[in-house]
Structure 1
């Protein structure tokens, strides 16, 4: 699969304008404002995952302080209030709108009609139903910009033991190939700081490069649940960690395919070992 020879687009979740500005200065290209709350607690209430409820006002505040980074807003799954939600976030300055937990092509068509080319559209593919309908979804490629594969909710819905089974089992590779064949930007999951993660972040990043992924969400290891900019600066040297991540991307983009395949075997072994522990 064709590798991507440019920096990975890094997505940083925050609704704090001060943190957003700082993250941008450290090399983050996309601030991720997360308005999704419908059904999230039922799916992930037992997990230590991001569950903050951001608002259109947060979108406006964050957009107002950024110089170069774009703002992506994850709205709620399609519901009675979607039309108002879409209008609110577009007026607030959203560059990209992410649709989570969709199951049908009809839901995509609803969003496309509401957005009406006023923002880019990123589908968060994270349900078995959407996965089964991937071919039909990709028939709408002309109206879409990106597809991000959500490993966490998808592995829960598929009753797998560990989300990275989707990566080791070949499903991510299949989706990546299908999405990129339609000319859409593809990404998946999140990434920990280099040297961290239950599965070494370096091996996850190697798969991103091998599969031609162009975007990834920075995990909690990049913010440690910081409540303020000062708190964040006390917990992590964000620029150092982002530079290290991008340097690792460049390193893997320059190696041959056999090295990336060897890393894949190491990844599969690490996932298998974690499952057994």
Structure 2
């Protein structure tokens, strides 16, 4: 099982490079409504991609899928946005920040099978109504957004969700309803506040099949030379593929041991965050 990899960019050249090195989904990120307010003061990625970006990237997408994250559901705004996104060439649409069964139902019914759909679970309200959402179905897959979900729960660090049982419980529910799922993002191999290797092993332990390549995997706001971007992708994808190759022989005991080590590393980061907040 190799993870399906997603990478956010609205640059056609970068999208083509990512595709050529095995990224499964190129992600156009149109979500902006409410994001600045809820992530205020955090070093998070805030894109404001447009329908024109979909049109610009679409011609280079031959083997990957084109995923578009729209804004949270709005009865007045969303139908036109969805129509525009589909017309521009999206293969899949992601609904973020949903909190009710009704929002998901309106989203899936309006898309009406014209493209694939995925739900981004990132609120505690979504967790509370998840059983009904899964029972209703009508969507293709689901992804846990660790960043906003940890804020929704008032936690200090997004990977606490991997150690406090919440992600375990959610993944069990997804399995029960046979819904493909993923969570969060990964840094390049050998990096990350918690090592990327530990996070990847958690994906395997939990049966996750999708993950975002985080900003640090190839930070195009810092690397602007296209040849350097290609070198970065080649090197980092080779390392990731090599690590995933090793995962083919990993035992469940090793995955459990990794979970214990992950918990220790997460707790270490949490303590540092709490100390910095007291200063």
> What is residue 93 of structure 1 aligned with on the other side?
89
Q: How does 1:39-50 map to 2 (within 5 A)?
A: 39-50=34-45
RMSD: 1.5
> What is residue 220 of structure 1 aligned with on the other side?
215
103, 108, 120: which one aligns with 2:99: 103
97, 115, 118: which one aligns with 1:119: 115
User: Which structure has more RCO (C-alpha within 8 Å, separation ≥ 6)?
Assistant: 1
Structure 2 counterpart SS, 1:139: helix
Q: Which moved more, 1:235-244 or 1:88-97?
A: 235-244
Q: Does 1:180 align with 2:168?
A: no
The CA distance in 2 between the partners of 1:64 and 1:235, in whole Å, is 19
Q: How does 1:1-277 map to 2 (within 5 A)?
A: 5=1, 7-79=2-74, 80-141=76-137, 143-226=138-221, 230=225, 233=228, 237-277=232-272
What's the offset of the Cα at 1:253? 3.4
Structure 2 counterpart SS, 1:173: helix
Cα deviations by residue, 1:243-262 (Å, 9 ceiling, x for unpaired): 22132223223211000000
Cα deviations by residue, 1:17-69 (Å, 9 ceiling, x for unpaired): 11100111111110000000000000113111111211111112111111100
The CA distance in 1 between the partners of 2:7 and 2:256, in whole Å, is 29
Q: Evaluate the alpha carbon distance shift between residue 228 and residue 255 of structure 1 in structure 2; reply closer, same or farther with a 3 A threshold.
A: closer
The CA distance in 1 between the partners of 2:222 and 2:190, in whole Å, is 24
Give aligned pairs, total: 271
- Is residue 125–residue 131 contact of structure 1 (8 Å, CA) maintained in 2? yes
What's the offset of the Cα at 1:195? 0.3
- Is residue 149–residue 188 contact of structure 1 (8 Å, CA) maintained in 2? yes
| Unaligned segments of structure 2, at least 5 residues | 273-279
Structure 1 counterpart SS, 2:182: strand
TM-score by length of 1: 0.94
Q: Evaluate the alpha carbon distance shift between residue 273 and residue 225 of structure 1 in structure 2; reply closer, same or farther with a 3 A threshold.
A: same
The CA distance in 2 between the partners of 1:232 and 1:181, in whole Å, is 45
| Unaligned segments of structure 1, at least 5 residues | none
Structure 1 counterpart SS, 2:67: strand
Q: Evaluate the alpha carbon distance shift between residue 86 and residue 205 of structure 1 in structure 2; reply closer, same or farther with a 3 A threshold.
A: same
TM-score by length of 2: 0.93
Cα deviations by residue, 1:192-226 (Å, 9 ceiling, x for unpaired): 00100000110000000111111101111122243
What's the offset of the Cα at 1:167? 0.4
Structure 2 counterpart SS, 1:260: helix
What's the offset of the Cα at 1:124? 0.2
Q: Which moved more, 1:237-246 or 1:197-206?
A: 237-246
